[in-house]
Structure 1
């Protein structure tokens, strides 16, 4: 599927990777539905999208709120008639020390990294099932394959999202709905610039956006990138867990 002349819902579009994806897709004459919490940033992005030749609809929404997500999907359908493609690009991965964090912080992390996906999946599946077509992509993380130190709650939420997308892919295969799971490695976003976590093999936001669009257009089941990180994850999954754990601990700061 070429992402050209499509109606595309972009959740988490106001900054970072989502913003870069929007600007790259705007060059392909698409109808973009820009969804995030910050209206000013969305309005600025909408102007840039339209200057590049695409149409833009702005919807202010908190992805962690079920009612907000359902409203956003309904508004997009009312405005455009249908949604061809959705990219659910919501997530946050602060450092967690399990000896000092709280259950409240962990629940919040689960809301952001897992339930935000659920909130959009349900109305999107209902819509695309009636049309018997559609593509839903989710920006996951390579952390969803391993329990990373200082990233335990984040890794757990991303693993849950990975399994849910796998199940959706099987259940809705006959409805011609495609599910693409995108797994970036470390990306140089403003949010993680000073989080204190090592970022080996880091790539730029623009390069990550190119990978995401490629994964969506290829309708790959799972797209892990960049290639260097993809092979490291595959190797880690083959190694004994003790050895993988020992290697991961090497990257931890001495004062964690």
Structure 2
């Protein structure tokens, strides 16, 4: 039987690329979106799910199980970007970002675990970010939410060992998707002490996304992980220098690494 894969945020960007590719490899794919009616031409079923609303998660899982009786792979891909000087980002937006990027994945994981435990098998892939390995200027909230998910996975893995359920992180760098359009941008305030440097950093971030890699690279990586018997804890996918930045953080003194980041962002 084909393995059943659930991809949150599977209607566009990286999630869509992963889903379309897995479908060509004989996987039964289900994606999710808050508004599935917007994607009538999807190559795989899109089910209504909002990771910030537990009742929609339960409904989605029940619908898949009624058709398939199992869920072999969960790919926690739904996420949201956020930028701005931390001092100026409204508290409500900070909480909303963590609801989507951190608490949302936790709740989806909780919803699939009883089924995977009953199956005595399962794989959960959390899509994090290379930004989660470092505190990036004007992306501090995003870095924090993705970094939290990285650490959560490490703990979860040990708790799930008895049930033959694997969990791993995949941290992408910049890919050419529509993520920038869906980000929350703290407004550039005319009297803000951060105005000039925030504007410059925003442009740098958007340029990185526009010149980012092909999302197919992520799809290739996910397929390899699914077909690996013993997945690693952490994977990084993206341009060499983005992945190498994590190595540099490990080996450089903290202040030297901070200076490197500030030079990169022209701060």
TM category, shorter = 0.7 to 0.9
Q: Are the equivalent residues in 1 in contact too, given 2:173–2:239 (CA < 8 A)?
A: no
Q: CA deviation at 1:92?
A: 1.5
Q: CA deviation at 1:250?
A: 1.8
Q: CA deviation at 1:227?
A: 6.2
1:167 matched residue in structure 2 = 155
Tell me which of 250, 253, 264 is aligned to 1:237.
250
Between stretches 192-201 and 106-115, larger displacement belongs to 192-201
Indicate the SS of the match to 2:83.
coil
Q: CA deviation at 1:217?
A: 2.7
Point out where structure 2 has 5 or more consecutive residues left out of the alignment: 184-201
Aligned ranges for residues 12-51 of structure 1 at < 5 Å?
12-45=9-42, 48-49=43-44
Q: CA deviation at 1:188?
A: 1.4
Q: Are the equivalent residues in 2 in contact too, given 1:13–1:42 (CA < 8 A)?
A: no
Q: Are the equivalent residues in 2 in contact too, given 1:35–1:42 (CA < 8 A)?
A: no
2:167 matched residue in structure 1 = 179
Aligned ranges for residues 1-256 of structure 1 at < 5 Å?
5-45=2-42, 48-49=43-44, 57-192=45-180, 196=203, 197=205, 199=208, 202-218=212-228, 219-226=231-238, 228=240, 229-252=242-265
Indicate the SS of the match to 2:41.
helix
Q: Are the equivalent residues in 2 in contact too, given 1:63–1:90 (CA < 8 A)?
A: yes
The TM-score with structure 1 as length reference comes to: 0.87
Indicate the SS of the match to 2:50.
coil
2:189 matched residue in structure 1 = none
Q: Are the equivalent residues in 1 in contact too, given 2:217–2:237 (CA < 8 A)?
A: no
RMSD of aligned residue pairs (Cα, Å): 2.1
Q: CA deviation at 1:253?
A: 5.5
The TM-score with structure 2 as length reference comes to: 0.84
